[in-house]
Amino acid sequence: MDELVDILNVNGKPSGETCMKSYAHKNGIYHASAHIWIFNNSEEILIQKRASDKDTFPNFWDISVAGHISAGEKPLTSAIREVEEEIGLNVDASQLKFIGTYNKKVIHNKHLIDNELHYIYICKLDLDVKSLKIQAEEVSAIKMIHLNDLIVKVNSNNSNFVPHGKEYFNLVFKNIKKDI
């Protein structure tokens, strides 16, 4: 789904200009996304399998929930919206803990350049995965995986997990371990 996003300046602040997400991706324009990692007291992380028709990393396992921040939208508001849209779960601001931002530029091909500032949140919840309703356009499956197994998976050279980078994963896993 295409949507209007804020164009960010080099400091990650909205420049005052907007464009469609598709245009940002085609031209490598800096914009923002929200990443939400959901975990429980049993050290399990909710992960999602990306839909088979996604432009990037189709059928790969990924973050619990992620999505672009719409133009004029605050990162926290976007995070709450994305959780509800992608997995049908209502959370409020007090359940999301902001752990930092991460810059990432990936040139998938000459027509698709992700140049994003990720706002990263963690959320500790005990939930029944079967009660969640996935957004079929974005997600083909969800499951819980033990943190230690996930660490092995993302560090594997032949993993089918979206490669967000060692520094990114270290930030996320360090913060989840502190909250378990």
- In the predicted structure, residue 158 carries a pLDDT above the cut 90: no
Residues in the chain: 180
- In the predicted structure, residue 125 carries a pLDDT above the cut 90: yes
Q: What is the pLDDT of residues 84-117, one digit of tens each?
A: 999 999 999 999 999 999 999 999 999 999 999 9
**pLDDT tier, 130 (very low <50, low <70, confident <90, very high otherwise):** very high
What CATH number is associated with residue 49?
3.90.79.10
Q: What is the pLDDT of residues 40-68, one digit of tens each?
A: 999 999 999 999 999 999 999 999 999 99
Maximal CA-CA distance, the chain: 44
The total number of structural domains that make up the chain? 1
| Average pLDDT over every residue of 68-84 | 98
Boundaries of domain holding 145: 4-179
Beta bridge partners of 106: 114
Residue (of 41, 42, 37, 81) closest to 62 by Cα position: 37
What is the phi/psi pair of residue 120, to 5°?
A: -110, 130
User: What are the distances in angstroms from CA 33 to CA 7, 57, 126, 148, 175?
Assistant: 12, 16, 25, 26, 19
| Torsion angle defined by CA atoms of residues 79, 81, 87 and 91, in that order, rounded to the nearest 10 degrees | 70
- In the predicted structure, residue 27 carries a pLDDT above the cut 90: yes
At 78 the pLDDT is: 98
Other Cβ atoms less than 10 A from the Cβ of 140: the count is: 16
**pLDDT tier, 1 (very low <50, low <70, confident <90, very high otherwise):** confident
What is the C-alpha separation between 80 and 162, in angstroms, rounded? 22
Angle between helix 147-155 and helix 166-179 axes, rounded to 10 deg: 170
**pLDDT tier, 9 (very low <50, low <70, confident <90, very high otherwise):** very high
